Structure 1
Amino acid sequence: MNFTWILLVVIAAIAVTGLANRRNLQAPLVLVAVGSVASFIPGMPRPELDPHVILGVVLPPLLYSAALKFSVATFKRNLAAILRLGVAMVLVTAFVVAFFAEWMVPEFTIGAALVLGAVIAPTDAVSAVAVGQKLGLPKRVIAILTGEGLVNDATALTLFTVAVAAVTGTRIATDSPLLFFAYEVVGGVVIGLVLAFIVKFVRARMYDSPLETGLGLVLPFAAYLAAEELHASGVLAVVVAGLVIGHYSTDASIMTRLQERSVWSSLDTLLEMFVFAYMGLQLSFVIDDVVNDGLPVVNVILYGLAVLAVVIVIRPLWLFLSYSRVRFGMTLLRGQREKQLTWKQNVVVSWAGMRGVVTLAAAGGIPFALSSGEPFPGRGVIQAIAFIVAVGTLLLQGSTLPFLIRRLDVADPYEQLRTQEQMELARTISRQAGEKALADVVASPPPGVDVAELQAIVERVRRSMQARLQVQETDENNDRDTAMWNAGALFDKFRHQSLRTQRMALIAARDDGDLDDEVLRTVLESLDLEEAAAEERVRRRRARAAAGGDDAV
């Protein structure tokens, strides 16, 4: 599959995703479906990327971007729940699937079956979190699902690396798989920490937003490649580096933060679309591989459905065993019971087991041959089963998760109150810090500045600061009152309309030759910031309305 075909796949995926979003459909499922149909077009070339390209180019930026957005403090608060799902759940799923598949599929060795288990063990939290945020899922549930998505990717792909090395006969650092697994984990964490703090140190002395953003783009690839070169976990190195850089992102300049937010959002979307389309395009060729191996296609489909059933059942069983253990006092940690999710929230989490990008990318990253040159045992069957599990979970769980959230009504009634209290605390801290800064200026005025002029300037700054804080408080109060909410929505609409009209008038003046293009670009930069702020207010208002239900509109 050459570079031209890759670009065509990306362009087609963008178009399909746009149509799916407009019709409120799940874009990943639509992409896989369209790609699957397209794979049967006569003359369609086989999408064969080198496994190292998929695992070393596609996955690092996806994992790094997710880690950037996740709070380290939130990760610590929910560490126990995240580790139960992201580590223990992955290992349990991988080994149960491995033993089941090795018993069921004659072509599998236990090593190849473990590769399959590692491929389909990690869940993809992206779609579940997106749905949950729209429907008002409690923030703690969202945090646990997001943290699980980061940790389980690292756990599964580390296990995947160990299993693949065992099957292919690749030389590893130690003869003990357990010691090698431990080395991969520790090594990945250390390398991620070291590189992240180096990048943080360098970026703090750059004062150049494009260069800082560029360095941030290079970091996930550098972390992955450095760790893999030392036979450590590249995935863990990427996740740790992302968590560290994300934690200290508040130290970066405003332009750097805005640039990185846009860059990573676009890159995420492109890579996720490509992976789903790429996997769909493999369907007819995976079937051909199964046929060429002399296996009945119907049997392989039945294998996939059986593994899908096992995967769906394991997650709720594990979660409710954990819930029961704490519910009935079988825990060594006092006070842990109060920190557990309710049974309704556990039902939602147990059903949020959709497989996605990592499963599809890992399936595509299975080597074609062993170190001896022989074909990888059961590679086509593994890919076919992974395809069935990914599509099956998206279809069964992804499509019914919104109904389940609404039906169980798992929203936390006290969460909005806590959020309001936190926002009020943030405004108080901000107001006090601003007043202190102004008082310091008055106490130690700059040399050569008239006292009366200084007092006037300080008063202007104070009024501007108070107006900004008052607007924030008014917005939140308005959102709790239907009439005021509608008035606020109209204000945002008219302001946005006014800014767009100004933009069009300026562009028309440039096109008529009355306004220099250079002047236009300078003025538009200021309008862009105002329009972005207006659009962000509209987006947040819509998100709060969606989370609060119809009462807000």
Structure 2
Amino acid sequence: MDASIFFVIVGAVAVAAIARWRGWPAPLLVTVVALAAAFLPFVPNPSIDGHVLLNLVLPPLLYSAALDVSFISFARAMPQIRRLGIGLVVVTTVVVGLVAWWLLPELGLFGALLLGAIVAPPDAVSAAAIGRKLGLPRRVMTVLSGESLINDATSLTLYRVFAAAVVAGPAAFNFWSTIWQFLLAVIVGVLIGLVFGLFMHQLRMRSDDAVINGTVGLLAPFGAYAIAEQLGGSGVIAVVAMGLYVGFNAPRTSYTTRQQEAPLWLSADFLLESFVFAYIGLQLPRVVADLNDGEVWPVIGLSVVVLLVVLVVRPLFVYPASAWGQWWTRMRLRKWERMKNGGSGVPVTVERRGRRALTEEQLRQRLTETKLSWRDNAVISWAGMRGVVTLATALAAADIAQMDAQAAHAIVVVAFVVTVGTLLLQGLTLPWLIRVLRVVDDREEQEDARQMAAVRERSREAGKAYLRDMRREWGQKHGEDQLAVFDAFAKRLIRVESDAETSQIDLRPRPTQEQFMAMAKGWLAVRRRLLLDERDAGNLSEEVMHELITAMDAEELALDTRAATRPQSRA
């Protein structure tokens, strides 16, 4: 690796660490510092091929984001996510492209549309971090996170189409071919992603080695991305599909894998994002300097106009799209009401192979699109900060050999201004907007508390049933007179009595450490299995389930730590 790249990484991480410590927006501070440092003669200015940078950065960032998304919430919000992740990206691409072509004809129509595809996708990482900190409702967080996973695939597909048109000329562009290419990208991407996801899940189920699982997990996104792209699919869709599959099934794997992968991906995201923003900041002065004297101000003017366009297009799309979604929901419900059960009034259910039947209320929920208030839509409209994907694709476009050098430089400058401008204008004011509009949902917290209390009660009952079965086995093996031994350890397990009280009981034969560990592990396994069943049945939100499973993971870690240190303490 070039030594200059190493120094850039170290400097970017140091600045980002200071930003996190002070509570400042790290991407913005890293970019500003890098931009200022670019004018210092002793600061290195490395050069990386844009396509290499794109292939290096996108897979891990997308996979990490997909792991954290609730698949159930994602599927439920799919209509909204689809409209923003596909429809809004296409609209933004066309509007920005036409405006850019009008203001700077030197770009050419397809060069301008290429620019539109580059600046179209927002990056919800910053918005999601702000939303979590300020307690945004889950319905809003799901839409923002889901949009950021889908819109990258749309924008990169459009990028690929318009880049090919720039290389081969306008005659190579075909509308229907573009539609087919997009569909093929989605289908191939999903298939490849599911294959990799199934492989990762099977590995994690069969291996308790967190180091191996983590290492393979770091490599798998690159493999899924590369193979999907090679087969004409969307590497982004492949990585997202794999991440959603692995994340949904993560509670079935060992707790050590879950505990290790969370900080691993947080560190990877932090490192990659810091480097990309620093690298772009270092490159911008050189790109501006390469513009012809007569092109500097037109490009700066174009950058400001494009920034305004992306700020305005988003709310103009979000509100009508949300209203259309609610209208469509009403139409679907009316049709369902007319069709259900021939009007007999008998409760409707749908049998599913190997799974519990869906009740009428669950069917209604599946047909109903989550309603977003005007306040929710205001936050979504203003959460359009651009990020790593916009910067990386701009650099990749600059490396297209057939593109005019001045046009390529203009695209990089516009992408930089749009990214920094949205981070500055939207990123710094979004917390204020959330507070002013009071976009919170007390009912969501109350529902979470209700679900948690109910599932804890069912979990205790399932645990007691498990202990009753174990008690019968213990009595058959050691005799009825030794049931007091089992009862003492069962009480210790469920913390009904203190260790001091249970230690006064004469335990003969004294259970071994292995027997107690097996009992405790079985107790946790039963409770985890119940949480998964409740989630699959629709009685427990995935977010609440993850919170409870994280607490159980801590219990199991304490058990293993105690077992590992006990021999040393006796010695």
**TM-score if structure 2 supplies the norm length?**
0.77
With over 3 angstroms needed to count, the CA separation of the structure-2 counterparts of 1:460 and 1:51, relative to structure 1, is: same
Please give the alpha-carbon distance, in whole angstroms, between the structure 2 residues aligned to 1:130 and 1:467. Answer: 39
Query: Do the aligned residues in 2 keep the contact of 1:438 with 1:458 (CA within 8 Å)?
Result: no
- Cα distance in 1 for partners of 2:139, 2:37 equals 40
Deviates more, 1:172-181 or 1:120-129: 172-181
The answer as to whether partners of 2:121 and 2:386 remain within 8 angstroms in 1 is yes
Mapped partners of 2:222, 2:447: distance in 1: 39
User: Could you say what secondary structure the match of 1:207 adopts?
Assistant: coil
* Kept after mapping to 1: 8 A contact 2:104/2:298: no
Match of 2:408 among 370, 379, 386: 379
Pairwise CA distance, 1:48: 1.9
- Corresponding residue for residue 348 of structure 2: none
Q: Which residue of 1 aligns with 2:467?
A: 438
In structure 1, C-alpha distance between the alignment counterparts of 2:328 and 2:182, rounded to whole Å: 33
The alpha carbon displacement at 1:19 in A equals 1.6
String of CA shifts for 1:145-184, please: whole Å, max 9, x gaps: 1111111122212222222222223999999222222211
Task: Report what 1:401 is aligned to.
Answer: 430
How far apart, in 2, do the equivalents of 1:365 and 1:447 lie? 70
Question: Hey, what does 2:223 align to over in structure 1?
Answer: 222
Task: Identify the match of residue 415 of structure 1 among 444, 454, 478.
Answer: 444
Instruction: Give the corresponding residue for 2:156.
Output: 157
Q: Which residue of 1 aligns with 2:77?
A: 78
The alignment status of 1:245 with 2:246, answered yes or no, reads yes
Which amino acid letter does the alignment assign opposite residue 448 of structure 2?
Answer: T
Equivalenced residue count is: 469
Cα 1:11–1:446, aligned 2, differ >3 Å: closer, same or farther?
farther
1:337-486 correspondence runs (5 A): 339-370=370-401, 375=404, 378-445=407-474, 448-466=477-495
What is the alpha-carbon distance in structure 2 between the residues aligned to residue 464 and residue 173 of structure 1?
67
Seen in structure 2, the aligned counterparts of structure 1 residues 427 and 288 have a Cα distance that, compared at 3 Å, is: same
Pair 331,22 (structure 1): closer, same or farther in 2 beyond 3 Å = same
User: Aligned partners of 1:197 and 1:62: how far apart in 2?
Assistant: 20
- 1:58 corresponding residue in structure 2: 57
State the SS of the aligned residue for 1:433: helix
TM-superposed deviation, 1:243: 0.6
Q: Deviation string for 1:206-258 (max 9, x for gaps)?
A: 33221122111111001011111112111111111111111111121111111
Contact 2:74/2:142 (CA < 8 Å) preserved in 1? Answer: yes
Letter in 1 for 2:377: N
Q: Which amino acid aligns with 2:270?
A: T
1:109 equivalent in structure 2: 108
Shift of 1:24: 2.0
Further displaced range: 377-386 or 157-166:
157-166
Question: Would the aligned equivalents of 1:173 and 1:231 in 2 still touch at CA under 8 Å?
Answer: no
Which structure 2 residues correspond to residues 118-133 of structure 1 after superposition, within 5 A? 118-133=117-132
Shift of 1:21: 2.1
Give the partner amino acid of 1:274: F
Give, in whole Å, the separation in 1 of the partners of 2:486 and 2:52.
Answer: 57
Give how far 1:320 is off. 1.3
Q: What SS is found at the alignment partner of 1:414?
A: helix
Q: Is the 8 A contact 2:77 2:369 kept in 1?
A: no
1:487 aligned partner: none
String of CA shifts for 1:412-435, please: whole Å, max 9, x gaps.
Answer: 121221111111123123212211
Cα distance between partner residues in 2 of 1:296 and 1:169: 25
1:455–1:297 Cα change, 3 Å: farther
Alignment RMSD (CA, Å): 2.8
Match of 1:333 in 2: 332
Partner AA of 1:345 in structure 2: D
- Between the aligned residues of both structures, percent identity stands at 42
Cα distance in 1 between the residues matched to 2:301 and 2:174: 38
Separation (CA, whole Å) in 2 of partners of 1:46 and 1:221: 26
Q: Which digits, 9 at most, give the CA deviation of each residue in 1:343-382, with x for residues without a partner?
A: 1111111111111111112112225233xx6646611101
* C-alpha separation in 1, matches of 2:373 and 2:186: 32
Structure 1 172/217 Cα, relative in aligned 2: closer, same or farther at 3 Å?
farther
Q: Distance in 2 between matches of 1:299 and 1:23?
A: 37
Cα deviation, 1:19-76, whole Å, max 9, x if unaligned, reads 2222221111101100111112225443321123212111100000000111111111
8 Å Cα contact 2:28/2:420 also seen in 1: yes
Whether the 8 Å CA contact 1:137–1:411 is kept in 2: the answer is yes
Q: Mean alpha-carbon deviation: is it higher for 324-333 or for 77-86?
A: 324-333
Contact kept in structure 2, 1:14 and 1:273, CA below 8 Å: yes
Note if contact 2:4-2:45 (Cα within 8 Å) is conserved in structure 1: no
Deviation at 1:324, TM superposition (A): 3.5
User: Is contact 2:166-2:403 (8 Å) kept?
Assistant: no
Q: What SS does the aligned partner of 2:478 have?
A: coil
In structure 2, the CA distance between the partners of 1:5 and 1:173, relative to structure 1 (3 Å rule), is: farther
Rounded Cα–Cα distance in structure 2 between residues aligned with 1:459 and 1:155: 60
Distance 1:307 1:146 in 2: 24
Deviations 1:265-305 (A, max 9, x none): 111111111111111111101102223xx543122111000
Query: What amino acid is aligned across from residue 468 of structure 2 in structure 1?
Result: A
State the SS of the aligned residue for 1:112.
Answer: helix
What residue number does 1:319 align with? 318
Amino acid corresponding to residue 136 of structure 1 in structure 2: G
Distance 1:140 1:459, change over 3 A: farther
Offset of 1:321 from its aligned partner? 1.2
User: Counterparts of 2:70 and 2:369 in 1: how far apart (Å)?
Assistant: 22
| Alpha-carbon contact 2:318-2:377 (below 8 Å) kept | yes
Partner in structure 1 of residue 87 of structure 2: 88
Shift in alpha-carbon separation, 1:197–1:285, aligned structure 2, 3 A: same
Please tell me the residue identity of whatever aligns with 1:409.
R
Please give the alpha-carbon distance, in whole angstroms, between the structure 1 residues aligned to 2:268 and 2:234.
23
What is the CA–CA distance in structure 2 between the aligned matches of 1:196 and 1:172, rounded to whole Å?
A: 34
Range with bigger deviation, 123-132 or 219-228: 123-132
Note if contact 1:289-1:380 (Cα within 8 Å) is conserved in structure 2: yes
| 1:309 partnered with 2:308 | yes
1:474 matched residue in structure 2: none
Tell me the distance in 2 between the aligned counterparts of 1:45 and 1:456: 70
User: 5+ residue gaps in structure 2?
Assistant: 334-363, 498-560
Structure 1 segment 510-529 matched on structure 2, within 5 A: none
Decide whether the 8 Å contact of 2:250 with 2:258 is kept in 1. yes
Aligned to 1:532: none
2:505 alignment counterpart: none
